[in-house]
Every structure is written in C-alpha cells, then in structure tokens.
Chains A and B, each alone.
Chain A
Amino acid sequence: MAAAARFTVVGGGLAGLMTTIKLAEAGHHVDVLSLVPVKRSHSVCAQGGINGAVNTKGEGDHPDIHVKDTLRGGDFLAEQVSVKGMCYAAPGIIYLLDRMGVTFNRTPEGLLDFRRFGGTLHHRTAFAGATTGQQLLYALDEQVRRYEAEGKVTKYEYWEWLGMVKDDTGRCIGSVAVDLRTMEIRTFPAEAVCLATGGPGIVFGRSTNSIINTGTAAGRAYMEGAQYANGEFIQVHPTSIPGEDKLRLMSESVRGEGGRVWVPRKKGDTRPPQQIPEAERWYFLEEKYPKYKNLVPRDVATREIFMVCRELGMGIGGRDGVYLDVTHIPAPVLDAKIKGVMEIYEKFVGDDPRKVPMVIFPGMHYSMGGLFVNFEADPKTQTPAEGSPKNQSTTIPGLYAAGEADYAFHGANRLGANSLLSCIYSGMIGGPAMTSFAKSQSTSAAAMPEKHFQAAKQYWQERFNGILKMNGTENPYSLAKELGDTMTENCTVVRYNDRLKKTVEKIRELKERWKNVNVLDTGNVANRALSYTNQLWNMFELGEVIATSALLRDESRGAHYKPDFSLPEPKTKDPTQDPEWMKLWRERHEKWAKTTIATYSEAGPKIHYEPIATPVLDPEPRWYA
C-alpha cells in the first residue's frame, strides 16, 4: 500500500463521515459516495442526544454502568467487546464533538448539560436542543469539508453505490456506482470499502426514516456474500406522529425532559384532554414501571402503548394513539431543550404541544441488525484492539460496515441516544482498521488487473440497460408500498409465525411481479425510477431476511416479541427469586442467546446461529418493572 492510499466510504452520515475523517487524518485519500449531499444524510434526523458517562451530575455514573445498561437494554444479544469499547470511548467522543463546535446545551457553569433517556437511571445524554443529530452531522460535515478543501477528500454526491468489485480471491478491491444525475456508471478502486449506508426503514414503507434509507447497499452486499446478522430485531419507536408520507419521530427526550404518557381511564372518554382531571388519567407506564416510569426501554414502552390501543381498545377516540403530555412543563423550558420537536408537531399536526397534549403512536424506527462485522478483543481490556484490521470488517475481505448498517452494538433493542454514539465510535475504529487491512495486503487494489473492474462495470451497465427496457404492467413504487404494508403489519411490534410465513410468501410473490415492472422513465438524466427499480429488488432481499429471521426465532427478546413463545410472568416481583421461572429463563437463554446469521442463496436466506461471547458481562434476566 502506498503511504497515501485511496479508500472509499459509502454514505455520508455520522458513521461514514467519521470513518472518512479518520482515514484523511492518517494521510489517505477518501472518495465519499453519497445518495444526497452528505449534509442531508439521515443522521440529521436524530433528535434526543448522544450518551456518554461523563458524570457531571454527581450521580456516580461510570462507563461500566453504561455498558451494563446497553447490554441489558439489548437483552444480551449485542457484541460485548464493541459495546465496552464504545461506552469507554463515549466521554472522549462527546468532548471531541464539543471541540468541533457542536452547540451542546450548557449548565449554568458553562459545562455540557446532560439529560435523562430511556433504559438508564442516570443523566447521561448530551444534547443540542432536540436536533442533536443535525448538530453532530454538521460538525463532522464541516471537518470533512476542511479536508475536501485540502484535496484529501473527494465527495461524489448524488452517486449511488451498486456493488463490489472483487478479485479472484474474493477480496473487495473497489466498487461500482452510478451518478444519479448523468446516469454514468463507473468503478472506484479502493484499498478497502466501508458501507456506512444506514438502516432499511423504507423496507417498511412508512417509518421515521428518511426516504433514502432503503437499505439497498446492505441488501446488495448481502447478495454478494456478506453475512447479515440479527435482521429480525427492528426497533419500533414508542412515540411518532403517523403521516401520509412518513411517521415523524417525537424524540424520547420529550419524556427525558418530563413528558408523560397517558390515556383517559374511562374507555371512549370524549372530553378534550385538558378537561380530564388528573385522577381520571391513566399513566400506564408510570403505574407499571415505578422505577423507570416513562423512560423504560423503547421496546417495552412500544408494546405497552400498542397493547393499550389494540388489546384494551383504550386509545384516544378508540383509535391508535395515546397522549404524550408536556403541558405541565413551562414553555420556555420546552423551547430551550426540545424546541425542534415541538415545532415538528406544530407544523405537521397543527396543535401547539405546549398547550395541548400530543397524540402519538409507535412507528418503525431503527434496525439493530445489519451486516455482520468482526472485532478483535484486546485481551487486557476486552475492548476492540486499537488499529486491528478485524474491527468492523464484514465477512468479505476489504469490505467494512459501520453505523446502523452494522449489527453489533445494540443487540435485541437499542437504547435511545446510543445510535449517534455507535455511528461515531464504529467510524473511529473502522477507519484505522481499513488502513491496517490495506497495509497487510501484498498487492494494492490500485495495482489489480483492469479486467476485474471492467467486468464489474459491464455487469452493472447491462443490468441497468435491462431495467431500462422493462415495460411490463407493475409500478415499482406500488410494489414498494405493498412490501411496506406487509412488513409493517407483520414484522413490527407483535409477531405470529403464521403471519410471518405469509410475509415471506408475499415477498416471493413481489419478487416474481418485479420481473413484470414498468420502469416508467426512459430518460437519461436523473432517472430515479431506474435506480429505484434496482433498489427495490435489494429491499425485497432484506425484507425476506428480516421476515425469515423473525419466523425462525421462537422466543421473545427485546424488540422481537412473539406472544406464542413468551415466558410466563414470574411469581415474584424480582424474577430471580422465582426458581421455576429462572429455570425457564435459563433454558430459553441457552437456546436463543445467539446471533442470527443470514447467508444469501437464490432460494431464500440460509439462517444459522452463532454463540455470543460474554467476556464483559454475564447475562441475567432483563427486568424493568
């Protein structure tokens, strides 16, 4: 490898930009491929904050407690070494962002302020109003722009990654991508490629995700041999506003700042919420979870809200929806701390949440699963070994994954404000890993025979030319809607095997119908329908992975909830005091505390399970009541 080698980073969100910064800082050249100007990446939507046990509130917080909360929150399915590394790096990451100019909220003394978030009892979340993701993304965008001005980074914005270029041994030596404006297809040789391409929200049709989050890159990488892990673990956020085009997130920070969830005690109460006296309101989360109250982990809050509406029929007006109430908090406090979300509610619903309780319902939000990645543990600290080429590496040599696109950090359920952290941390260790990998290779990707690049480019030109000629009767956008409706109905909060089976069948049917698509647009400038039709296939592949993985996991864990396979309620308040229940728990744990691995085959995903090493923390029952 040359002293200044060339790398490709796909995706310009927090994970991609941090990977880019690390590579550029080490003196390398980075090509950043992004569907949109990187400043518009989906990280911009994150609201609540970023976790780090800085312990400025005198609560005795510590990275070890952050590790414990994270592993417990994910019901012991997260990769433990990377979680420990992340939690220990968190305070330093927050300080770095502070130095980069993130406008974090401050205490009266001028220090960073921290707020409460779900799944922890500590004030651990640094925040910039309620647009923390935006502020963090901009800080990294600015640093990358600085490298761009210095000539170390070249941005390819409005470029879509299509697939890998591999050598004869199967090593990834570059990528093929298409310019979404000119429709030019070209190759990008690279010593290593990082997919920091976010999650698959749009596979579910409407979600809290940006419409660019189709998961297409991860889906394609899976088709090309990268393993996909824990696909069934899909986070449904408890509080979103349903909309025609998307489900708009109402940040967990609303509850972190004191927001309360309730419904009228009387079923079908038609009074406006302000006229319902305190005693006639049912604060069901506070009642059932006196310790964590409204800040139980997301999967728990989501299930409770879902049950209140769907099983008890106690949603507002008999429909899907419960109150999220901040009217007891003074408006200036709300504006100082969560103005961003107050404005979203006001603009899109029309009511002022400072005066009228918001009506919210759970919405698909995040994928804990993603491309399988490795880590090398430092035997002394049990954190990822510094500079190891293994860290963040997928099962394909030379291909890395970071951010929501990887599977590692969140297990069966992600804690709020851990996603910004995992994005940045995975970039921080992923960049150096890519450099080490490149150094370890005897032949540079740039020196590989031209035939590999030509063949890959030709494949994609032919595929796109083929799609351009598709003039059948199916509309690709309507097929996507059918996929989204099926996935949302059957693969979100509550899951049943018969419905999951039907979902897999439905996806196979959609795949057949895809062959009869009409591409709608035969233009050669900014032909979005062309690229979307290609993406759609990859969405089907991921949908099939998610549904099949959910079908085969016969238990309830974190966000994956199957009533037919749940453990009974323990007889004691503390479940560890109920020996019979503990026996059941142990049996279940031994069988299912494993990573789900999906490997591509044309006939459908091949699923197997891999044991999870627990060098950091022994699993225990996950209990919040």
Chain B
Amino acid sequence: MDTAQASAVTTKTVTFRIWRQDDPAKPGHFDEFKVPYAKGANVISCLMEIQRNPVTVEGKKVAPVIWDAACLEEVCGSCAMNINGRVRMACSALIDKLEQPITLEPMSKFPVVRDLTVNRDRMFDALKRIKGWVPVDGTHNLGPGPRQSSQDQSVMYVLSTCITCGSCLEACPQVTQGNDFVGAAAISQARLFNMNPTGRMNAEERVRSLMGPGGVQDCGKAQNCVKVCPKEIPLVTSIAMMNREVAKLTIKDIFFQDETSKGHGGGPG
C-alpha cells in the first residue's frame, strides 16, 4: 500500500553466497548473487528478489534458489537455515544486522532436499514417539476442561510456542543425520503434555518413550539448544526435568517391576 515508502531502493547492493545442490545425491556448490539494498530487508525478501532475477554475479542465469518459508513472522517454523554459520530463522534475519557477504546454507543435521530446503520428518516422528497429544474422549460436547492456574498456564504456554523449526537439533552436538536422538524440541513437548491436567494421566507412557536409545539420556548437556531457540523456550530445564522423570521411572522399574508391568504396556521407545 505504501510501495513508495517501503521500497526506497538505493544503489547499494547486498551480496549473498548461497549453497546450491540440485539433488541430495549430487555434490553442491556456492552461487554468489548481488541484490539491490532496501531498508528493512531481510534474508527472505532478498531471496524473493533473486527469484525475480536469478542471475549470479558472474552473469550466469541459474534456477531460482529453493528454500522453505511460509509465514515470514517467525511462527510457522519453516525457514530455519544456517546464516553466516549460525542456525536461525531467515525471515527475522535483517540485512542491516548481518555481515556481508551473507552466506546461506541448509541445516546440516537433516537430509537436503534441494538448495536450502531439508527434510525435517524426524522432528514430527519424534512427536509421535513421545505421544505429543492430549488423548481426548472425542469431539462431542463434554463441557469445559479442567481448571488451571495462571501460573501453570504461563509455563505451559511458553513450552507450546515451539515451532518445530529444528534449530535445537541443528545446534546439538549429539544429533547426527545417522542417529535417532529425539532432540530437545520433542523432550520439551513431553514435559508440556505431562503438565497438562488431562495429559498427565498418560505421563508414564511419555516418560517411557524417552527411555532407551535416542531418548533423553543421549543428551550431552552442551546446552546449545537453548541458545539458538528462536522462541526462547527453556529447553535445558525441560530436558533436566524429563531426565529426572526417566531416572525415577528407571528406579521404579527395578524395584517394582511386577506392579508396573501389570498397569502399563510400555512406550514405543
């Protein structure tokens, strides 16, 4: 609506080095682009500019860069990538605050699909593993849910703002493309559902899902996750709390094996 105001373009340019990879099986390379500078621009608006003129600094016409994005306001979780070597959301990466040339690379802990897009299925699979849901009886009208205190709500609200972007996995030294560590995001979600008054009824199942290979004990306590989380979720606290729950359940299993095996089928982990 205020085209003139927002596109106050000067002759300044912004330089990008962008990772190109046509196929996960093929080797990749960097392409360099220059785009006109605009005030308030971010990495996504520059990638859009490249779509409209996909020509490298050498003057070579190339295919537009492929990247994932949707909301552009840091709430959908799509556009996580490595920007100047650090994982972050591309939409909120303002050009004015970045050193040039700006290097864009895909996250390394997930298989590349093409260019900057990766396959984050392991994150959604992890949410299945931890049974990240409240098992409601049905969608028919059963009246209000249980009362909750504002204090509990404010803790749970923060946990539930996780956008499944994958930054915490990317920064984690324990996560590799070959292993199955569930990662901080899913562990924190288990904590969220175990706090919910109804979700709590299946708490043990979720704790059990975090036992064994790929579970919470694979955490090496590097604490990188919490530093890169764009939503500032207290991931380290969540991991510590779930770790304690796992330890408690392990002890319980040792001493009260007979009783627990009667009551619970065990988790999928």
Chain B's nearest CB lies how many Å from the CB of A434? 15
Complex CA–CA separation, A96 to B143 (angstroms): 8
Chain B's nearest CB lies how many Å from the CB of A446? 26
Question: Is B40 touching A520 in the complex (CB atoms < 8 A)?
Answer: no
Complex CA–CA separation, A101 to B141 (angstroms): 15
Contact A492 to B1, CB < 8 A, known contacts A210-B76, A244-B7 = yes
Chain B's nearest CB lies how many Å from the CB of A221? 22
Stretch at the interface among B120-128, B221-229, B247-255: B120-128
Question: Is A211 touching B63 in the complex (CB atoms < 8 A)?
Answer: no
Contact A106 to B148, CB < 8 A, known contacts A36-B70, A181-B113, A485-B3 = yes
Does B51 sit within 8 A of A, measured CB to CB? yes
Does B241 sit within 8 A of A, measured CB to CB? no
Question: Is A106 touching B145 in the complex (CB atoms < 8 A)?
Answer: no
Contact A103 to B153, CB < 8 A, known contacts A145-B132, A477-B51, A521-B64 = yes
Question: Is A336 touching B148 in the complex (CB atoms < 8 A)?
Answer: no
Q: Which residues of B contact A128 (CB under 8 A)?
A: 157, 160
Interface residues of B in 129-143 (CB under 8 A from A): 131-136, 138-139, 141-143
Complex CA–CA separation, A488 to B48 (angstroms): 18
Contact A523 to B76, CB < 8 A, known contacts A143-B136, A363-B1 = no
Question: Is B128 touching A45 in the complex (CB atoms < 8 A)?
Answer: no
Does B78 sit within 8 A of A, measured CB to CB? yes
Question: Is B144 touching A529 in the complex (CB atoms < 8 A)?
Answer: no
Complex CA–CA separation, A574 to B131 (angstroms): 57
Question: Is A243 touching B74 in the complex (CB atoms < 8 A)?
Answer: no
Interface residues of B in 106-128 (CB under 8 A from A): 113-115, 117, 120, 124, 127-128
B26, closest chain A residue (CB): A525
Stretch at the interface among B167-175, B176-184, B191-199, B258-266: B191-199
Among B48, B53, B71, B143, which residue has the most Cβ atoms of chain A within 10 A? B71
Does B38 sit within 8 A of A, measured CB to CB? yes
Does A98 sit within 8 A of B, measured CB to CB? yes
Question: Is A95 touching B77 in the complex (CB atoms < 8 A)?
Answer: no
Chain B's nearest CB lies how many Å from the CB of A246? 5
| Complex interface bits, A80-103 against B, C-beta within 8 A gives 1, otherwise 0 | 000000000000100110111101
Does A380 sit within 8 A of B, measured CB to CB? no
Question: Is A526 touching B113 in the complex (CB atoms < 8 A)?
Answer: yes
Among A25, A107, A243, which residue has the most Cβ atoms of chain B within 10 A? A243
Q: Which residues of B contact A106 (CB under 8 A)?
A: 147-150, 153
Interface of B is mostly: loop
Does B69 sit within 8 A of A, measured CB to CB? yes
Q: Which residues of A contact B163 (CB under 8 A)?
A: 134
Does B22 sit within 8 A of A, measured CB to CB? yes
Question: Is A528 touching B134 in the complex (CB atoms < 8 A)?
Answer: no
Does A171 sit within 8 A of B, measured CB to CB? no
Does B15 sit within 8 A of A, measured CB to CB? no
Question: Is A37 touching B120 in the complex (CB atoms < 8 A)?
Answer: yes
Q: Which residues of B contact A211 (CB under 8 A)?
A: 69-70, 72
Stretch at the interface among A108-116, A437-445, A583-591: A108-116
Complex CA–CA separation, A22 to B140 (angstroms): 10
Chain A's nearest CB lies how many Å from the CB of B125? 10
Question: Is B113 touching A319 in the complex (CB atoms < 8 A)?
Answer: no
Interface residues of B in 73-103 (CB under 8 A from A): 73-78, 91-92, 94
A99, closest chain B residue (CB): B145
Complex CA–CA separation, A348 to B3 (angstroms): 18
| Complex interface bits, B28-70 against A, C-beta within 8 A gives 1, otherwise 0 | 0000000000101110110010011110000000011010111
Chain A's nearest CB lies how many Å from the CB of B20? 11
Does A504 sit within 8 A of B, measured CB to CB? no
Question: Is B63 touching A242 in the complex (CB atoms < 8 A)?
Answer: no
Question: Is B64 touching A320 in the complex (CB atoms < 8 A)?
Answer: no
Question: Is B138 touching A25 in the complex (CB atoms < 8 A)?
Answer: yes
Question: Is B63 touching A523 in the complex (CB atoms < 8 A)?
Answer: yes
Complex CA–CA separation, A42 to B70 (angstroms): 8
Q: Which residues of B contact A105 (CB under 8 A)?
A: 150, 153, 157
Does A148 sit within 8 A of B, measured CB to CB? yes
Question: Is B128 touching A149 in the complex (CB atoms < 8 A)?
Answer: yes
Complex CA–CA separation, A145 to B132 (angstroms): 8
Question: Is A478 touching B52 in the complex (CB atoms < 8 A)?
Answer: yes
Complex CA–CA separation, A428 to B138 (angstroms): 12
Complex CA–CA separation, A523 to B54 (angstroms): 15
Does A426 sit within 8 A of B, measured CB to CB? no
| Complex interface bits, A231-251 against B, C-beta within 8 A gives 1, otherwise 0 | 000000000001111111100
Contact A244 to B113, CB < 8 A, known contacts A36-B78, A135-B160, A485-B3 = no
Contact A39 to B164, CB < 8 A, known contacts A211-B72, A481-B52 = yes
Question: Is A344 touching B54 in the complex (CB atoms < 8 A)?
Answer: no
Among B45, B51, B76, B94, which residue has the most Cβ atoms of chain A within 10 A? B76
Other-chain residue from B5, B72, B161 in contact with A245 (beta carbon distance below 8 A): B72
Q: Which residues of A contact B77 (CB under 8 A)?
A: 39-40
Does A104 sit within 8 A of B, measured CB to CB? yes
Chain B's nearest CB lies how many Å from the CB of A322? 12
Does A212 sit within 8 A of B, measured CB to CB? yes
Other-chain residue from A148, A244, A336, A363 in contact with B128 (beta carbon distance below 8 A): A148
Question: Is A99 touching B136 in the complex (CB atoms < 8 A)?
Answer: yes
| Complex interface bits, A394-407 against B, C-beta within 8 A gives 1, otherwise 0 | 00000000000000
Question: Is B113 touching A525 in the complex (CB atoms < 8 A)?
Answer: yes
Among B91, B92, B117, B133, which residue has the most Cβ atoms of chain A within 10 A? B133
Question: Is B53 touching A475 in the complex (CB atoms < 8 A)?
Answer: yes
Q: Which residues of B contact A100 (CB under 8 A)?
A: 133-134, 136
Contact A101 to B134, CB < 8 A, known contacts A95-B141, A529-B63 = yes
Does B154 sit within 8 A of A, measured CB to CB? yes
Does B156 sit within 8 A of A, measured CB to CB? yes
Complex CA–CA separation, A522 to B63 (angstroms): 8
Question: Is A243 touching B6 in the complex (CB atoms < 8 A)?
Answer: yes
Does A451 sit within 8 A of B, measured CB to CB? no
Q: Which residues of A contact B2 (CB under 8 A)?
A: 242, 319-321, 361
| Complex interface bits, A501-540 against B, C-beta within 8 A gives 1, otherwise 0 | 0000000000000000000111101111100000000000
Does A21 sit within 8 A of B, measured CB to CB? yes
Complex CA–CA separation, A488 to B77 (angstroms): 28
Other-chain residue from A242, A364, A525 in contact with B6 (beta carbon distance below 8 A): A242
Other-chain residue from A131, A143, A245 in contact with B44 (beta carbon distance below 8 A): A245
A56, closest chain B residue (CB): B144
Question: Is A526 touching B143 in the complex (CB atoms < 8 A)?
Answer: no
Q: Which residues of A contact B63 (CB under 8 A)?
A: 520-523, 527, 529
Other-chain residue from A25, A40, A109, A142 in contact with B70 (beta carbon distance below 8 A): A40
Chain A's nearest CB lies how many Å from the CB of B25? 10
Question: Is A101 touching B196 in the complex (CB atoms < 8 A)?
Answer: yes
Chain B's nearest CB lies how many Å from the CB of A392? 16
Question: Is A242 touching B22 in the complex (CB atoms < 8 A)?
Answer: no
Chain A's nearest CB lies how many Å from the CB of B201? 12
Other-chain residue from B64, B91, B117 in contact with A529 (beta carbon distance below 8 A): B64
Does A57 sit within 8 A of B, measured CB to CB? no
Question: Is B127 touching A243 in the complex (CB atoms < 8 A)?
Answer: no
Complex CA–CA separation, A376 to B63 (angstroms): 50
Does A597 sit within 8 A of B, measured CB to CB? no
Q: Which residues of A contact B115 (CB under 8 A)?
A: 526
Interface residues of A in 517-569 (CB under 8 A from B): 520-523, 525-529
Pairs A–B under 8 Å by Cβ, sample size 21: A40-B78, A44-B75, A45-B75, A103-B156, A106-B149, A106-B150, A131-B75, A142-B134, A146-B133, A148-B128, A210-B71, A211-B70, A245-B42, A247-B1, A248-B72, A319-B5, A344-B73, A361-B1, A362-B1, A475-B52, A527-B63
> Nearest 4 A-B pairs (CB), nearest first?
A110-B147, A98-B145, A142-B133, A245-B45
**Interface, chain B (partner A; CB < 8 A):** 1-3, 5-7, 22-23, 38, 40-42, 44-45, 48, 51-54, 63-64, 66, 68-78, 91-92, 94, 113-115, 117, 120, 124, 127-128, 131-136, 138-139, 141-145, 147-150, 153-154, 156-157, 160-161, 163-164, 193, 196, 198-199
